[in-house]
Structure 1
Amino acid sequence: MDISSDSKKGSISGKQPGEGRPIQPVTSSCSKAAEAAQEQQRSRNMATIADDDDRLLVRIGYTPVLQRHFSRWSTVSYAISILGVLGSVPATFGSPMSSGGPATAVWAWFIGSIMAYCIASSVAELVSAYPTAGGMYYVTKHVVPKDHVAPWAWIIGWCNFLGQAAGVASLAYTISQMILATAVIHTFDKGEAAFTPTALQTVLLAIFVLCLFGTVCSFPTVWLHEIILWFAPINIIASICICIALLILTPEKQSAKWVFTEFMDGSGWGSKGFSFLLGFLSVAWTMTDYDGTTHMSEETHDAAIRGPVAIRAAILVSGVVGWMLTVTFCFCMSDYDAIMASPTGLPVAQIFFNAGGRTGGTVMWFFVILVQCFTACAAMLANARMAWAFSRDAAFPFSDFWSKVNPITHTPVNAVWLVVAFCSCLDLIGIGSTLTIVAIFNITAPALDISYIAVIIAHRWYEGRVQFYPGPFTMGRWSKPVNAIAVTWVIFISVVLFFPTVKPVTATNMNYAICVAAFIGLFSMGWWYAGARKTYTGPRTTDTIDMLPPEDPEAILSDCYDIP
């Protein structure tokens, strides 16, 4: 892997915040054309280019409007927190355990983490070249021929936005379930629970949680930077402490042979191998949203370097911590059948309370809920920035309103509350149909991963026709093989995740995610042909070169703005 800073890649140097090179003043050697270009830029209200980040943003066609406060550590912390393994693994642990047993949970996580690293590295390489709030959606503009940009960007943008929205809604819903599961445990007496939450209670609490996160995500970027700095340390330290506590406090642990070699056919498909594949749901749902960090690029110092580094570091850390948690939970499954049939509906919650009692279990479970809240905040932040970038390109109804930046916080507050309202509507479906809401949640990983590989495929398909200029992070000769692995894996696992998880298939246990995917595809394409294709042109950027007089514009940029 290579991270460099040569001048052909935008003079990005990896400086500390505030150390970017100032604009070189116009000297007598600059032509009148250069002065005219400067005046033309001022007349268009272009922001002062204070450092390499904003210089790069102007070069790719955007006027900087957000404030950059995210540093190296807050960016890494954000990348780790958006995966949030301590919250997500307990929430999804029951799926691989019920379908394929402990060995399925352990090895599916191990293999899935390696594949996630390939996808994340492929994403990091592309967004390093174009670090904007649109993430992979914006990259489409630079890997697809100009006359094909609009339909490609439309499909990829909607897949990304809806996948993220489904993820945010599902996180709020699972947080609600976790809180109510605590209440169930505390009212459990003599084999029965005095309190059983209803669908309405779960949904209303989830909407309250969404509003709470929307308030946090509306804060100024400098506040978010200070808050997010603590997300990753709490996540990692709490994970290690919980693993140690569980292994000490659980009286009768399972054997290593059972944990690492016991495969089951809990799906009923008649194949332990297929049941193993269904076990990838946990790692697929947890280890996604790789480009979440890139959606914060316009608020990050040295985003072209720090974004890709943070993405790959987060996969490594989360992969190790997630595997550690999965193995620990399997060792603590002292009574498999009783734990899987827990009245809380969450096997890990039962493991905690078995080990620590009501007091100790509640303390451990509190940190799980806290980290899941961190993950939901980070995911909503990414979704809001994506919504802002998408509305900036007039992809939404009333885009002018959603694309406004609040003059007080200097953040896209309107886009944040668009996400809150949309995700609340998704969660409201849970009142009437648990099957439908689960199907919507299950679309998160396939929708996001497909939006990533679509850009990767387009990049490779059109690379002979479209000139792509790599950013400071590149995989070099490993790029094509890693891209191939990422694309193959996403196609394969997406098909698996659309399969019903239990056989025989009935209306009750059917995996309706495929129906939701079909609806999203038909809706987006129907909207496209109904009128969007006449108004939507893809990412709306201002070509800096086109703004300059015709006399050798590239030389003018190089001489006057120190841009090669």
Structure 2
Amino acid sequence: MTSNIHHRSVIFLGLQAGGPAAIWSSYIITIIFMLITAAVLAEICSALPLSGSIYIWAAESAGPKHARFFGFIVAWWSCTAWSTFTAGNSQTAANYVISQLTVWDIDFPGGTTTDNVKWRALIWAVSEALLILSVAVNYLPPRMYSAIFRFSVALMMLDFFLCVIWLPIAVSKTYGFRSAKDVFTMTYNGTGAPPGWNWILSFLFTAGTMTGFDASGHIAEETKNASVVAGKGILTSAFATGILGFITTILFLFCTPDLDTLFALEAPQPFVQIYALALGKGGSVFMTVIAVLGLMLNTSIAIVAASRLVFAVARDGVLPGSSWISRVTEDGQPRNAVTFIFVFSAAMLCTILPSQVAFTSLVSAGGVPTIAAYGLIALLRLTMTPNEFQGSYFRLGKFARPFYISAALFNVLVFAVMISPFYFPVTSETFNFASVIFGAVTIFGIASWYFTPEDKWLRPGTVQEELRSADGDVDNKDSGI
């Protein structure tokens, strides 16, 4: 359900890159290969259901000799990805809020375009405020989390049904649906890239909405029967996100105005103006409020998962200041890890001030490290440990090798898309700084590996115990115990 709001937030990026025809075709490809990637991750998650998940999976996929090196790098990647996602989500919510200014024809000094630094300053200030509110939820007593989660799910359900019922009815009575020919055959180049690469850039939208399905692994140590439940969570999350995302994407393609009208809209979040065209100004306010609340709760829940990851990485001695970051409260909550995520995310949002394309850069920077980790794990499983983790409940068997190859190659393609400039020709103000963030974080990870003593890292005993436990479970099943 969370993908519904996120889809609206970035679907215009897909429309600029290739148009409707590129979106739906790229989405089908993305679903297939992301499900393959999810299967690769579920296999190792089942054998190693530990907090810290993806970084431990990378370490163990590399084998004993190189485990520490790859573990440190992926740990830095993952912490960066989730913290940057938090920042990007906050800016997405801010874009919804301030887009109402254009709906109500409120003049802003210098205009409502990203080349106006005052406008960017407003986006930055609102983004930081919404980030603070989203983080604040994580300082509430843990007993309140379940109520917040239930409210979040209810809100997402309301949003989903309004989008699939109210929006289409309103569109049919106002500017009308796009034709099937438009939806399934129309192409568009709003990026200035060469035609082939312009089409491939649509993967920024399709793959960007299908990352993060490894989240259930981050809280594996707090999950009962984690060797089965956490792995199943990865697979069902990827499947549900893909199928629901594809259905709502097709719906939105039919409900958007013609592309000339769409790209003439000056709001930072064009969907707010689409609401205004279809539902009227009052309807757009109502849907915007729901979207902003949904995004903020989505951000808060993401911070819960991210804080467990950051806590586990710090507990294993990978980050500077690990002893402070890994400290927990009396009731076992990683509050310092939450604070760390807040500081990092707030710093990332400052990129809005100098950059005209901070939104696309943050979308990319939030996805690049995760996509890189997905591809690296598949590659390491193929080359370093193809016969390990036999105790997994989700063992791939004869499909292992083709799945590893497919997942590695697809994620390399998506990685290239995410570090590519989105608008051409490239200038200093339209440069995609995701590549700079990724490069810097990789260097920090290597430096951290080099300067941290071996005996300060990880709990090899815990990892081996998990592996023995998983293997033992399979042995027991095989022997009929």
Q: TM-score range by the shorter chain?
A: 0.7 to 0.9
Which residue number corresponds to residue 342 of structure 1?
265
* 1:206-217 equivalent positions in 2, closer than 5 A: 206-217=127-138
Which residue number corresponds to residue 71 of structure 1?
none
1:153 equivalenced with 2:71 (yes/no)? yes
1:124 equivalenced with 2:67 (yes/no)? no
Contact 2:76 2:442 in 1 (8 A): no
TM-score (norm 1): 0.75
Which residue number corresponds to residue 424 of structure 1?
346
Alpha-carbon distance between aligned partners in 2 of 1:227 and 1:471, rounded to the nearest angstrom: 33
Alpha-carbon distance between aligned partners in 1 of 2:34 and 2:160, rounded to the nearest angstrom: 21
1:403 equivalenced with 2:326 (yes/no)? yes
Task: Describe the shift of the 1:358–1:437 C-alpha distance in structure 2 as closer, same or farther (beyond 3 A).
Answer: closer
Contact 1:149 1:538 in 2 (8 A): no
Contact 1:144 1:458 in 2 (8 A): yes
Post-superposition offset of 1:229: 3.6
Alpha-carbon distance between aligned partners in 2 of 1:302 and 1:233, rounded to the nearest angstrom: 27
Contact 1:231 1:371 in 2 (8 A): yes
Which residue number corresponds to residue 177 of structure 1?
95
Can you list the C-alpha shifts for 1:2-54, whole angstroms capped at 9, x where unaligned?
xxxxxxxxxxxxxxxxxxxxxxxxxxxxxxxxxxxxxxxxxxxxxxxxxxxxx
SS of 1:411's partner is: coil
Task: Describe the shift of the 1:229–1:127 C-alpha distance in structure 2 as closer, same or farther (beyond 3 A).
Answer: farther
Contact 2:21 2:186 in 1 (8 A): yes
Post-superposition offset of 1:428: 2.0
Can you list the C-alpha shifts for 1:490-543, whole angstroms capped at 9, x where unaligned?
0122113322223333333333332332232233324444x23x3575423445
TM-score (norm 2): 0.87
Alpha-carbon distance between aligned partners in 1 of 2:339 and 2:440, rounded to the nearest angstrom: 25
Alpha-carbon distance between aligned partners in 1 of 2:12 and 2:112, rounded to the nearest angstrom: 24
Work out which of the residue numbers 215, 224, 228 in structure 2 matches 1:305: 228
Post-superposition offset of 1:421: 1.2
**Is 117-126 or 320-329 further displaced after alignment?**
320-329
**Is 286-295 or 108-117 further displaced after alignment?**
108-117
Task: Describe the shift of the 1:485–1:253 C-alpha distance in structure 2 as closer, same or farther (beyond 3 A).
Answer: same
Can you list the C-alpha shifts for 1:339-363, whole angstroms capped at 9, x where unaligned?
2121212222221111000111222
Contact 1:249 1:355 in 2 (8 A): yes
Work out which of the residue numbers 225, 229, 245 in structure 1 matches 2:166: 245
Which residue number corresponds to residue 269 of structure 1?
193
Which residue number corresponds to residue 447 of structure 1?
369
Post-superposition offset of 1:452: 2.3
Q: What amino acid is aligned across from residue 540 of structure 1 in structure 2?
A: R
Alpha-carbon distance between aligned partners in 2 of 1:505 and 1:544, rounded to the nearest angstrom: 46
Which residue number corresponds to residue 156 of structure 2?
235
Report % sequence identity.
22
Can you list the C-alpha shifts for 1:84-115, whole angstroms capped at 9, x where unaligned?
21221111111111121122222222322222
Contact 1:85 1:286 in 2 (8 A): yes
SS of 2:250's partner is: helix
Which residue number corresponds to residue 285 of structure 1?
208
Give the gaps of 5 or more residues in structure 2. 466-470, 476-480
Which residue number corresponds to residue 124 of structure 2?
203
1:379 equivalenced with 2:302 (yes/no)? yes
Q: Which has the higher helix share?
A: 2
Alpha-carbon distance between aligned partners in 2 of 1:514 and 1:224, rounded to the nearest angstrom: 35
Give the gaps of 5 or more residues in structure 1. 1-79, 547-553, 559-563
Contact 1:99 1:264 in 2 (8 A): yes
Structure showing greater radius of gyration is: 1
Alpha-carbon distance between aligned partners in 1 of 2:435 and 2:99, rounded to the nearest angstrom: 29
**Is 323-332 or 381-390 further displaced after alignment?**
323-332
Contact 1:221 1:299 in 2 (8 A): no
Which residue number corresponds to residue 20 of structure 1?
none
Task: Describe the shift of the 1:301–1:528 C-alpha distance in structure 2 as closer, same or farther (beyond 3 A).
Answer: closer
1:510 equivalenced with 2:431 (yes/no)? yes
Alpha-carbon distance between aligned partners in 1 of 2:426 and 2:364, rounded to the nearest angstrom: 17
Alpha-carbon distance between aligned partners in 2 of 1:181 and 1:423, rounded to the nearest angstrom: 22
* 1:476-495 equivalent positions in 2, closer than 5 A: 476-495=397-416
Alpha-carbon distance between aligned partners in 2 of 1:274 and 1:397, rounded to the nearest angstrom: 39
Contact 1:267 1:501 in 2 (8 A): yes
Contact 2:39 2:394 in 1 (8 A): no
Task: Describe the shift of the 1:187–1:263 C-alpha distance in structure 2 as closer, same or farther (beyond 3 A).
Answer: closer
Contact 1:329 1:348 in 2 (8 A): no
The alignment's C-alpha RMSD in Å is: 2.9
Q: What amino acid is aligned across from residue 505 of structure 1 in structure 2?
A: V
